[in-house]
A and B are shown apart, each in its own frame.
Chain A
C-alpha cells in the first residue's frame, strides 16, 4: 500500500495548482458552447496540457505521453478548485477516443482537431423510440445508393442535437444479418437536407434533448467508422468511455464539501442545520458512502497503473456513483425543507438552484448511458457469472 504519487508528481500537482490559481478568472462560467470565453479557455487548456493531454499534436492535442497519474492530478485539482476543466460533451468524451482507436487517418485529421477546440460540436444518435435499453434492435435504416448512404428513420433523446454541427449515428445497413451484426456507425453533418429536430423539454425545464427525424438524408459513403456491419463493436468501445466518466467520485467529493458548507450556514429555528443530530447523521451516512467509492476509485486507478482489470470494482461505478450523487443532492433539498423547493428565478435560491437541478439531472444519468437495472444485469451476468435470461422467441 502506497498512496503517494511520488515527488515528480507532487511537483506536477503544484504546477497545476499554480496554473489554476493564476488563470481561474478566465475560466468560463455558464457561457454558451461556442462563446469566445469557452473557446479561448479550451485553447489555453490544450496549449498548457490540461485538456486533450495525451492526444497527438498532429491531431490537435497536447501530445503528452499517456500518464494516468498526471491525468488524475489534473482532474483532482480542477474538481477541488471548482474551476471549469474544459469541454466535455459527447464529441470529446466519446467520438474522439473512438476515432483514435478505429478511425481512418483521414477521419482523425478531419474531425479530432476541430472537435477538441470546440469548433465542431457533436451529438450522439443511438436511442430510438423502439430501441432504448435494447439498443441493438434499432431500425433507422441506411441504404447504399452509388456513393451515398441514404438514411431514413428516427432517433430520440438526442442531447444537444439543436446545437450540434455533426452527429455520430448508429444505423441498420444489413437488414438480413443478426441484429448485432447489421449495424454501421456513420458520421454526418446536421445541416444535411432531410434532418428535422424537435426539442423535448426535460424535467428540469430545459430542452436539452430532442427527437431527430431523418428523411432521405444523403451521407457520403466514406463517412463510416469501421466496416459495414461493425457499428455495434465501434459503439461499444465508446460506451466503455462514457461509463467511466459518469459518477466520478472527485466531483462527488466537491459536492459533498458544498453540502457541508450549506449545512453550516443554513439555519432552522436559529440553529445551524449541521447542529441537528438527525440531519447530521444523514450527512454522515452520505459521507461514508462517498468515502467507500473514493477508496474503490483508488483501487481501480491502481489496477489501471498495473495493467490489470479490477473487474467488479470497475463495473459497479456507474450504478453506485450516479445513485449516490442523486441521494447527495436530494439530502441538500431535504435538510432545507421548504427552502429546498426554490427554483429558477426565485429570489431565495441557494447555490444558484443547483441542488434541485442536479438532483433531477442525476436521475437522468441514472437512466441514461445504460439504466441502473441494465447495470445490475451486467454486474450479475458478467461480474458474478450468473445465467443469462432465456431468450424470448419473437412473436410473429
Chain B
C-alpha cells in the first residue's frame, strides 16, 4: 500500500515547477495575458504534451496522476497553455475511441498540433448554442470552447457523439471570447454543414474525456488555491498593523487555518480521483465529478479568503492575486459547475430516479 507520489512523479513535479517558476512568473504571465502567447513551446521541450500519448505512438504513455501533477503546477503558476485539451482530453478521446490515430498522436506529442475542446453539448447546452450532426458534418454553435487557439477541435454533438474538426475546415467561423481569465483562451465556433471526422458514437468515450478533463481542472484549482494560501500566510507574516504582524491576530490566523484545513484533503482527493480513473472504472465518474465539485467549492472559499487576508492590496492589480482568483473561477464554471457535477455523481451511483 502506497498512497502518494512516486520518486519519478516527484521528479516530474520538480522539473515542471522549475521550468514554470521562470517561464510563468507573474511578470511573464502579465505580459502573455496582454500580448497573447503561452508557455506551450517550453512545455513541449519538457515532453509535457506527450504524457498521455501511448508509447506505441511515440508518446510517454504515463498515467492520469502524472497529468494531474502537471495540471497542479500549471494552476500554481497560472500558466497559459492548452494543456487540458491538447495533452489530456484529445489524447484520451483518441485512446478511448480506438482506431489508428498515430499521425495525429505524433503531432500532439511533439506539441506541433494544439487542440481545443467544445464539449458543452455533452453535459449541458446553454441558450444560444447547440450542435447537431448529419453524417460527417456539423451545424450549430459552440460557446466557451476551451483552449480556443487550436489547430484541431474536439466537438461533442447533442447525441454525445465526438468529432474532430480542422481549424481551416470549410464553413467554420471562429470568434474568440473574452472571459475574466486572461490566462486561458476561449471562443465561439459556428458550424454550418461543416465537414468533420466522426470519432465516436459511444457516450462512454465522451464520459472518459469529461472525467479526465474535470480531474485536470480540479488539479489546476488545487495548485492555484495552494499558491493563494501560501501567499496569504507569507503576507500575514510580513505585514504589520497595531505594531504586530497581522498573522498574530487570531482572526487572520483562523482564516489561514480554515483554508489549510479545507485544502489539505483536496490534495489526496485529486490524487485518488486520478488514480481511480486509470484503475477503478466503477468509481471513476463519480469520483471525478465529486472531486471537481469539491475542489471548486474549497477553491472559491480560498480565492475569497486569501484576497481578504491581503486587505486592499489583495484587491489591486499590483500584487496580481486576481490572476489566481480568476483562474479558480474559470475552472469552476468549465466542464460543469458544482451543482451539475453533484447531480452527475448522484446519477453515477443510481440515486436519481
Contacts and interface: CB of A to CB of B under 8 A. Distances in A.
Contacts of A2: 1-3
Given A281-B342, A288-B342, A386-B253, A316 B1 contact: no
A298 B268 contact: yes
A280 B343 contact: yes
Interface of A: 1-6, 69, 260, 272, 274-275, 277, 280-281, 283-285, 287-289, 291-293, 295-296, 298-299, 301-303, 305-306, 312-313, 316, 319-320, 373, 375-377, 379-381, 383-390
A190 B346 CA distance: 53
Contacts of B100: none
Contact of A380 (B65, B257, B266, B291): B257
B116 interface: no
Given A1-B271, A386-B233, A303 B4 contact: yes
Given A303-B4, A312-B260, A390-B244, A284 B345 contact: yes
A288 B237 contact: no
Contacts of A305: 1-2
Contact of A284 (B236, B290, B291, B353): B290
B254 interface: yes
A384 B351 contact: no
B4 A299 contact: yes
Contacts of B3: 1-3, 298-299, 301-302
B247 interface: yes
Contacts of A1: 2-6, 65, 271, 275
Given A295-B269, A299-B268, A303-B4, A380 B345 contact: no
14 contacts: A3-B279, A69-B1, A274-B353, A280-B352, A281-B342, A288-B345, A291-B294, A292-B294, A302-B1, A302-B3, A313-B264, A316-B265, A379-B257, A380-B254
Nearest to A311: B264
Nearest to B344: A284
Q: Which of B5, B253, B261, B342 has the most CB of A within 10 A?
A: B261
Contacts of B250: 377, 389
A283 B290 CA distance: 12
Contacts of B265: 292-293, 295-296, 313, 316, 320
The 10 closest A-B CB pairs, nearest first, are A284-B342, A295-B268, A302-B3, A376-B257, A296-B265, A380-B253, A292-B265, A379-B257, A288-B294, A387-B248
Contacts of A373: 254
A153 B353 CA distance: 62
Contacts of A303: 4
Given A3-B3, A316-B265, A386 B247 contact: yes
A390 B249 CA distance: 9
Contacts of A379: 257, 260-261
Interface string B117-139: 00000000000000000000000
Contacts, number: 151
B253 A376 contact: yes
A319 B260 CA distance: 11
Nearest to A302: B3
Nearest to A263: B351
Q: Helix, strand, loop or mixed for chain A's interface? A: helix
Given A295-B271, A295-B272, A289 B257 contact: no
A389 B248 contact: yes
B237 A387 contact: yes
A4 B261 contact: no
A284 B341 CA distance: 9
Interface in B265-300: 265-269, 271-272, 275, 279, 287, 290-291, 293-294, 297
Chain B, interface size category, equals: 35 or more
A280 B351 contact: yes
B351 A274 contact: yes
A390 B65 contact: no
Given A312-B260, A313-B268, A3 B294 contact: no
B258 interface: yes
Contacts of B261: 316, 319-320, 375-376, 379
B328 interface: no
Nearest to B339: A281
Contact of B293 (A6, A288, A312, A380): A288
B184 to A, nearest CB: 25
B197 to A, nearest CB: 35
A384 B252 CA distance: 12
Contacts of B256: 380, 384, 386
B245 interface: yes
Contacts of A4: 1
Nearest to A386: B247
Contacts of A285: 297, 342
A377 B294 CA distance: 25
A5 B343 contact: no
Nearest to B1: A5
Interface in B1-20: 1-6
Given A281-B339, A386-B237, A386-B253, 5 more contacts: A275-B352, A284-B290, A312-B260, A316-B261, A380-B253
Q: Which of A281, A306, A387 has the most CB of B within 10 A?
A: A387
A298 B233 contact: no
A6 B1 CA distance: 7
Contacts of A377: 250, 253-254, 257
Contacts of A277: 343
Nearest to B6: A1
Contacts of A284: 290, 293, 342-343, 345-346
Contacts of B65: 1
